[in-house]
Amino acid sequence: MNIIFLGPPGAGKGTQAQKICAALNIPQISTGDILRRAMKDGTETGLKAKSYIEAGKLVPDEVIIDIVKERLAMDDCRNGYILDGFPRTVPQAEALDTIAKIDHVIELAVDDQVLVERLSGRRVCVKCGATYHLSMLGGKTNCAVCGEELIQRKDDSAETVLARLEVYHAQTAPLIGYYEKKGLLQRIDGAQGMDNTYAAILNALGVQA
């Protein structure tokens, strides 16, 4: 099953993609994670992406399309995948149409106000990428999975979060109509608890919990 997770920053794409990928035994392809790794490793792509990410803007389509083409050609994508954070513009969606057949587009819908609160409290593990919210950590500062230190993403600062939301509404939200027209879009309320959201996604995919 080839699946797209669409939704604004903080909607829970990463949180849910990790769980659904584990349940279906398919890879999670997060373009945000790929770019952050490239930045950490100081690669050419990472250097190109840094200023865009830190300003809350999208990196240029041609950069990201090449990354995704290369990733989808890998062996582990043969039985399906979840695209988490791609496509994010109409040209990206059109490029994807030329290389993949998408089965489901899951839109996670959450109000902006809730998103700002979620992102300002998000903490992520620098090593394994596990995601938490301050409200669930009870003062702990290390990852429950691997023990590594938890950090706040640089682009989760209040100012950058607002810029990312603006970019979402202007450049990514048009994809809702794009996939609706193709009959692929399923909208899920992402403001319910994590377990209810998970169950709703499995149901939309036609998978037994």
CA 68 to chain centroid, in Å, comes to: 13
d(CA 179, CA 160): 28
Sorted by sequence, the CB contacts under 8 Å of residue 38 that are 6+ apart come out as 45, 46, 49
Distance CA 36, CA 29 (A): 13
Q: Catalytic annotation on 13?
A: yes
Q: Which is nearer to Mg ion, 14 or 87 (CB)?
A: 14
Interacting residues with ligand AP5 between 108 and 137 (CB under 6 A): 118, 121-122, 131-133
DSSP state, 59?
P
The residue annotated as part of the active site, out of 37, 48, 71, 153, is: 153
d(CA 198, CA 195): 5
Under the criterion CB under 6 A, does residue 53 sit at the interface with ligand AP5?
yes
Residue 88 within binding range of ligand AP5, rule CB under 6 A? yes
**Residue 191: CB minimum distance to ligand AP5, A:** 7
Backbone angles phi, psi at 26, to 5 degrees: -130, 155
Q: Which of the following is catalytic: 36, 88, 118, 123?
A: 88
14 binds Mg ion (CB under 5 A): yes
> Which residues does the annotation mark as catalytic?
13, 88, 122, 153, 164
Binding site for ligand AP5 (CB under 6 A): 7, 9-15, 31-32, 35, 52-53, 56-59, 64, 85-86, 88, 92, 118, 121-122, 131-133, 155, 164, 190, 193-194, 197
